[in-house]
């Protein structure tokens, strides 16, 4: 009888195995594993990730990497996204280092093509969408308990013909332990330790008058518990495996590190502590004739920016619980019933600087009794207004430091169940039919946010003619008797009663649901005589049907949908939508040659899938692949795959709403590079050209984004060619080299707002200029001024490069063994064309705030050495390297000033099998405590704390220790 275990056996695409893991034998000795499988062919058939064909001696023509459970334990990493983000082909999506714009989820981004283009599976079946919130719809790998992973199989490049939509950049398949017998308990404690000794940054921060971190600090403590229990049935036909985990991670604030003690701006050669012009002392301005801040009870010229960085979380606190069970029972050789049930509850809090009046109010009552005579004279009086007038166009930037930092409390609760039946039809045919249902419930509470409506009322103060008290005008006219006036015109004037009135928590809830029903048969046609002449193995076949339905609901409260939250950057629109797809798919595995000179085996792989969406879209995906085993020492493989990605529910159905985008400066503002003629095209007047009113001190501007039901599915073509060598003259050595090229056509995205500005300025074309809505003084960051950038099919995305993987194992005799591994990616291209026929932005080797985003080094590698000692102790050292990247300034432009030097990290860990039932592990990652690179004007979102914490080691040394007890 065959088993349905999935064993990766391939000359795989060279990628990092994570952090400091010992080299697994299945990766080092692909040929030996294949030989072992051949010996067991009578009882075992193999299925590899990327194909559903099951047969003896199965070797994939698609490059696949495996990360083992041992790799994960030795690395000491308990967050699944961190395990994968250290791999050269993986880039940071949502991580624990995201503060502003956090979704509370953790996502995987293969090849930096976006998490939405990476398909995530658990035991070969889809995970549900991670969150209904913006940026969170990709699968949330928080659902995966790291301690229960048996292995992770990563296939880069399209695989839609096998698995359906979304497998554009590739597939990540988490295989959990499901046949365990006994009891296992695991505990790990970890923390970060850092020596604040960056004297240059410390001088910069202290010279700006801000507190600065110094000395040694340890924080970010994490405790991770897990148990695993399994039992076989008395008749040996079945097994039940149950697990539970609990993880508690504490917060790290940016004030704890010297390099994040202030928000750094300027240029790398002239850095300064910048920040926001929404300050505790207020900025009072009409963006024309006056620009003041508060001193005592007087207005003085505005000079001070607010240091918003220290209160931001560098690492979000997180508490996660998971429980689950897997089971299977063989009724007879033709019918085996199996089931999976998993539950996750994850709660994380994102913290950023206090809310405030972010120039949300645009007029002031000149008779406000809190205004001093000097303040009145400097503003209303200078404008010729009386105390009976309103000053229209009076803007206030005032930070609510009294109310504390904003906290976004994000909770996701997921439930997933699988029920299936599989078995043998006869000696040549088998089947598998399953239903897979997953749902995620989302609850968000946003605390310490100010209400725009209440601010407007609280700033409209009067003297009560009866009592002589200062009250709101809305109290006198009865429209809002609960209003409390907000005195921001004298230091210490804000009362607790005013805060209680101004602060209104925001609430949002939602759900995602995913239903998948799939069934297929797989067979070997050898006995039917469908065999290529000259071979002994017939054609392998898979044929199947699949139905999938995706549903999403996001229901923000009125505070969110109305845009009443002052620090939200605009309204948060609700979303409701669903779609379904019906599919038919098939695969062929055709042995062409066997046992020939220079062709020990030559196999052709074909796959096809037809998809019919309820949105009236249809797609065709397919694969051609060739696997040529020249002999035991050399193998060549090549493949072409057409993959697709249909628009997800948010891309299809979310309504248009106001949000924020990153831009260093308005190109028409002070220091901008647009000519007057270009700026007139964008909606400016000549008088507004290069005025300070256009500059957003936070580097964030308004945009209107939204979905589009008319977007077509995007298509991608993946080309892969690789060779694998394991020469006899060097036993224990293997070398894998794989070329890849992925082209995504009609990519579902939006035209970057900066590109819209550039195209409008250059051409005056109404198609772009009509998307720009400047405010009364020409700005793009106050009120409802904005650039519209809704989803559509843009030009294309493309990435190209070469992966390398070299491994060598040496026998040290009585000294044990030494295992060496070198894994790297050379990236030649990561290109984006925002509009068909338009300019091509090349991001390989670059980063920026708009088009390229996070760094994309041209070279990344991991070099590791593991000493397997004769005393049951393994010691592993890993050198992680990322090449330099430059700041991208645009097509044909010189490199920007923000160069990031090459980064190097050294990790060291040890694993001791102290007893047959007890395993101990300790380690330090980034053992040299390298500071992360300082990013001046780091983009909001992927950037945090003046660096990219999802990509670089941002918090210093990561120290861990753990124990596993098994009975």
pLDDT digits (tens, 9 = 90+) for 870-901: 999 999 999 999 999 999 988 888 898 889 99
Q: What is residue 38's predicted lDDT score, i.e. its pLDDT?
A: 35
- The dihedral of CA 555, 557, 559, 565: what is its sign? negative
Mean per-residue pLDDT, 446-453: 97
Burial class of residue 386 (count of CB atoms within 10 Å of its CB; 0-12, 13-18, 19+) = exposed
Helices (H), 393-481: 452-459, 473-476
User: Are 285 and 294 within 8 A, CB to CB?
Assistant: no
pLDDT digits (tens, 9 = 90+) for 691-729: 988 988 778 899 999 999 989 999 999 999 999 999 999
Q: In Å, how far are 269, 271, 946, 951 from 201, measured between CA atoms? A: 13, 9, 11, 21
Mean per-residue pLDDT, 1-11: 32
A 10 A CB-CB count for 457 gives 23
Distance between CA atoms of residues 931 and 676, nearest Å: 43
- Distance, C-alpha 307 to centroid of its chain: 27
Q: What is residue 851's predicted lDDT score, i.e. its pLDDT?
A: 85
Angle, alpha carbons 868-870-875 (nearest 5°): 30
User: Are 712 and 762 within 8 A, CB to CB?
Assistant: no
Closest by CA to 876, choosing from 861, 885, 864, 888, is 864
Q: What is residue 58's predicted lDDT score, i.e. its pLDDT?
A: 52
pLDDT digits (tens, 9 = 90+) for 298-341: 999 999 889 988 999 999 999 999 999 999 999 998 999 999 99
Q: Is 202's pLDDT higher than 70?
A: yes
Distance between CA atoms of residues 636 and 657, nearest Å: 51
Q: What is residue 454's predicted lDDT score, i.e. its pLDDT?
A: 97
User: The pTM is what?
Assistant: 0.88
User: Are 407 and 351 within 8 A, CB to CB?
Assistant: yes
pLDDT digits (tens, 9 = 90+) for 581-592: 999 999 999 999
Q: In Å, how far are 231, 921, 922 from 965, measured between CA atoms? A: 17, 12, 15
**Better pLDDT: 19 or 381:** 381
pLDDT digits (tens, 9 = 90+) for 758-774: 999 999 999 999 999 99
User: Are 216 and 193 within 8 A, CB to CB?
Assistant: yes
Percent of the chain at pLDDT above 90? Answer: 69
User: Are 357 and 369 within 8 A, CB to CB?
Assistant: no
Distance between CA atoms of residues 537 and 848, nearest Å: 53
Q: What is residue 85's predicted lDDT score, i.e. its pLDDT?
A: 80
Distance between CA atoms of residues 393 and 488, nearest Å: 18
Q: Which residue has the tokens 């199947």?
A: 544
Among 17-26, 376-385, 460-469, 697-706, the minimum mean pLDDT is found in 17-26
pLDDT digits (tens, 9 = 90+) for 474-507: 999 999 999 999 999 999 999 999 999 999 999 9
Distance between CA atoms of residues 695 and 670, nearest Å: 7
Q: What is residue 42's predicted lDDT score, i.e. its pLDDT?
A: 36
Q: Which residue has the tokens 């041992």?
A: 70
Distance between CA atoms of residues 128 and 394, nearest Å: 48
Tokens linked to 459: 């700033």
Distance between CA atoms of residues 913 and 890, nearest Å: 54
Which residues, 6+ apart, have CB-to-CB distance to 182 below 8 Å? 229, 230, 966, 967
Q: What is residue 4's predicted lDDT score, i.e. its pLDDT?
A: 37
Mean per-residue pLDDT, 808-831: 93
Q: What is residue 49's predicted lDDT score, i.e. its pLDDT?
A: 67
Phi, psi of 392 (to 5 degrees): -75, 140
| Number of alpha helices (DSSP H) and beta strands (DSSP E) in the chain | 15, 52
- Distance, C-alpha 320 to centroid of its chain: 18
Q: What is residue 784's predicted lDDT score, i.e. its pLDDT?
A: 81
3-state helix, strand, coil in the chain (%, to 5): 15, 45, 40
Q: Is 8's pLDDT higher than 60?
A: no
Burial class of residue 164 (count of CB atoms within 10 Å of its CB; 0-12, 13-18, 19+) = buried
pLDDT digits (tens, 9 = 90+) for 91-144: 877 788 888 888 888 888 999 998 999 999 999 999 999 999 987 788 998 898
pLDDT digits (tens, 9 = 90+) for 251-277: 999 999 999 999 888 888 888 888 889
- pLDDT, averaged across the chain: 89
Q: What is residue 56's predicted lDDT score, i.e. its pLDDT?
A: 54
Distance between CA atoms of residues 528 and 592, nearest Å: 17
Closest by CA to 379, choosing from 393, 400, 369, 399, is 393
pLDDT digits (tens, 9 = 90+) for 50-75: 777 765 555 566 677 778 787 777 67
Phi, psi of 276 (to 5 degrees): -105, 150
User: Are 133 and 141 within 8 A, CB to CB?
Assistant: no
Q: Which residue has the tokens 């101990």?
A: 920
pLDDT digits (tens, 9 = 90+) for 621-637: 999 999 999 998 999 99
Q: What is residue 60's predicted lDDT score, i.e. its pLDDT?
A: 62
Tokens linked to 186: 């695991």
User: What is the secondary structure of 416-436 as a DSSP string?
Assistant: EEEEEEEEESSSSEEEEEEEE
pLDDT digits (tens, 9 = 90+) for 634-659: 999 999 999 999 999 999 998 888 88
Q: How confident is the model at residue 12 (pLDDT cuts 50, 70, 90)?
A: very low
Distance between CA atoms of residues 898 and 902, nearest Å: 13
Q: What is residue 47's predicted lDDT score, i.e. its pLDDT?
A: 62
Q: Is 37's pLDDT higher than 50?
A: no
Q: What is residue 95's predicted lDDT score, i.e. its pLDDT?
A: 83
User: Are 184 and 965 within 8 A, CB to CB?
Assistant: yes
CA atoms within 13 A on the CB side of 867: 13
Q: Is 26's pLDDT higher than 50?
A: no
Distance between CA atoms of residues 495 and 389, nearest Å: 26
**Better pLDDT: 722 or 47:** 722
């Amino acid at each position: 009888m065959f088993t349905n275990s999935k064993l990766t056996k391939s000359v795989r695409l060279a990628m990092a195995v994570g952090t400091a893991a010992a080299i697994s034998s299945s990766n080092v000795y692909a040929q030996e594993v294949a030989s072992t499988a051949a010996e067991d062919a009578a009882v075992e058939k193999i299925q590899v990730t990327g194909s559903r064909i099951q047969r003896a001696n199965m070797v994939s023509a698609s490059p696949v990497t495996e990360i083992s459970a041992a790799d994960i334990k030795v690395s000491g990493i308990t967050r699944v996204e961190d395990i994968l983000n250290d791999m050269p082909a993986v880039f940071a999506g949502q991580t624990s280092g995201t503060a502003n714009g956090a979704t509370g989820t953790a996502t995987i981004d293969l090849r930096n093509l976006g998490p939405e283009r990476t398909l995530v599976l658990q035991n070969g079946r889809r995970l549900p969408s991670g969150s209904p919130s913006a940026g969170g719809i990709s699968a949330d790998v928080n659902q995966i308990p790291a301690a229960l992973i048996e292995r992770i199989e990563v296939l880069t490049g399209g695989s839609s013909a096998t698995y359906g939509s979304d497998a554009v950049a590739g597939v990540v398949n988490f295989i959990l332990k499901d046949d365990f017998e006994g009891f296992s308990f695991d505990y790990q404690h970890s923390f970060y330790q850092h020596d604040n000794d960056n004297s240059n940054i410390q001088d910069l921060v202290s010279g700006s008058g801000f507190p600065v971190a110094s000395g040694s600090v340890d924080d970010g403590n994490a405790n991770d518990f897990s148990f695993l229990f399994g039992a076989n049935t008395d008749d040996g036909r079945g097994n039940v495996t149950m697990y539970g985990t609990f993880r508690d991670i504490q917060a790290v604030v940016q004030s704890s590190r010297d390099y994040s003690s202030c928000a750094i701006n300027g240029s790398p050669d002239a850095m300064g502590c910048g920040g926001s012009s929404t300050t505790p002392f207020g900025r009072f301005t009409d963006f024309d004739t006056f620009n003041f801040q508060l001193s005592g009870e007087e207005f003085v010229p505005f000079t001070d920016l607010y240091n918003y960085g220290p209160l931001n979380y560098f690492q979000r606190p997180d508490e996660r619980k998971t429980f689950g069970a897997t089971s299977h029972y063989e009724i007879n050789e033709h019918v085996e019933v199996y089931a999976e049930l998993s539950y996750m509850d994850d709660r994380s809090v994102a913290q950023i600087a206090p809310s405030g009046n972010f120039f949300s109010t645009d007029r002031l009552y000149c008779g406000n009794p809190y205004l001093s005579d000097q303040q009145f004279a400097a503003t209303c009086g200078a404008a010729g207004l009386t105390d009976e007038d309103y000053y229209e166009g009076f803007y206030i930037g005032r930070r609510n430091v009294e109310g504390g930092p904003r906290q976004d409390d994000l909770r996701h609760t997921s439930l997933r169940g699988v029920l299936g039946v599989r078995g043998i039809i006869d000696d040549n045919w088998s089947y598998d039919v399953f239903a897979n249902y997953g749902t995620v419930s989302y609850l968000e509470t946003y605390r310490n946010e100010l209400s725009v409506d209440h601010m407007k009322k609280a700033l409209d103060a009067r003297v009560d003619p009866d009592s002589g008290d200062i009250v709101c005008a809305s109290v006198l006219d009865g429209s809002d008797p609960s209003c409390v006036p907000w005195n921001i015109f004298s230091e210490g004037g804000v009362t607790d009663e005013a805060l209680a009135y101004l602060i209104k928590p925001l609430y949002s809830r939602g759900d995602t649901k995913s239903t998948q029903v799939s069934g297929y048969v797989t067979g070997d046609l050898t006995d039917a005589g469908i065999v290529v002449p000259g071979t002994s193995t017939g054609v392998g076949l898979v044929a199947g049907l699949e139905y999938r339905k995706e549903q999403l609901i996001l229901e923000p409260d009125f505070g969110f949908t109305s845009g009443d939250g002052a620090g939200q950057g605009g309204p948060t629109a609700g979303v409701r939508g669903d779609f379904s797809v019906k599919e038919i798919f098939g695969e062929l595995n055709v042995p062409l040659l066997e046992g020939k000179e220079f062709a020990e085996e030559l196999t052709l792989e074909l796959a096809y899938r037809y998809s019919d969406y309820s949105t009236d879209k249809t797609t065709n995906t397919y694969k051609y692949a060739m696997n040529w085993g020249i002999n035991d020492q050399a193998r060549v493989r090549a493949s072409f795959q057409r993959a697709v990605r249909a628009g997800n529910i948010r891309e299809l159905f979310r309504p248009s709403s106001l949000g924020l985008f990153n831009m260093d400066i308005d190109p028409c503002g002070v220091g901008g590079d647009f000519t007057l003629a270009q700026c007139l095209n964008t909606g400016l007047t000549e008088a507004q050209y290069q005025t300070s009113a256009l500059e957003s001190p936070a580097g964030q501007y308004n945009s209107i984004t939204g979905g589009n039901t008319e977007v077509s599915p995007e298509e991608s073509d993946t080309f892969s060619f690789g060779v694998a060598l394991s020469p006899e003259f060097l036993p224990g050595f293997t070398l894998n080299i794989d070329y890849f090229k992925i082209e995504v056509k009609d990519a579902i995205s939006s035209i970057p707002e900066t590109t819209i500005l550039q195209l409008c300025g250059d051409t005056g074309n109404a198609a772009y200029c009509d998307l720009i809505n400047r405010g009364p003084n020409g700005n793009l960051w106050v009120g409802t001024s904005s650039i519209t950038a809704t989803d559509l099919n843009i030009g294309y995305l493309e990435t190209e490069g070469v992966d390398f993987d070299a491994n060598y194992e040496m026998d040290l005799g009585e000294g044990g063994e030494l295992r060496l591994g070198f894994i790297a990616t050379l990236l030649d291209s990561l290109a984006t064309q925002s509009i068909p026929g338009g300019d091509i932005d090349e991001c390989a080797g670059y980063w920026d705030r708009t088009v390229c985003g996070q760094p994309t080094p041209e070279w990344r590698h991991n070099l590791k050495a593991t000493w397997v000692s004769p005393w049951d102790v393994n010691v592993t050292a890993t050198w992680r390297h990322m090449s330099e990247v430059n700041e991208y300034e645009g097509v044909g432009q010189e490199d920007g000033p923000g160069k990031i030097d090459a980064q190097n990290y050294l990790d060291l860990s040890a694993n001791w099998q102290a007893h047959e039932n007890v395993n101990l592990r300790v380690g330090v990652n980034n053992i040299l405590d390298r500071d992360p690179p300082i990013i001046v004007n780091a983009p909001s979102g992927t950037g945090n704390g003046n660096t990219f914490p999802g990509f670089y080691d941002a918090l210093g040394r990561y120290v861990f220790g753990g124990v596993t007890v098994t009975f």
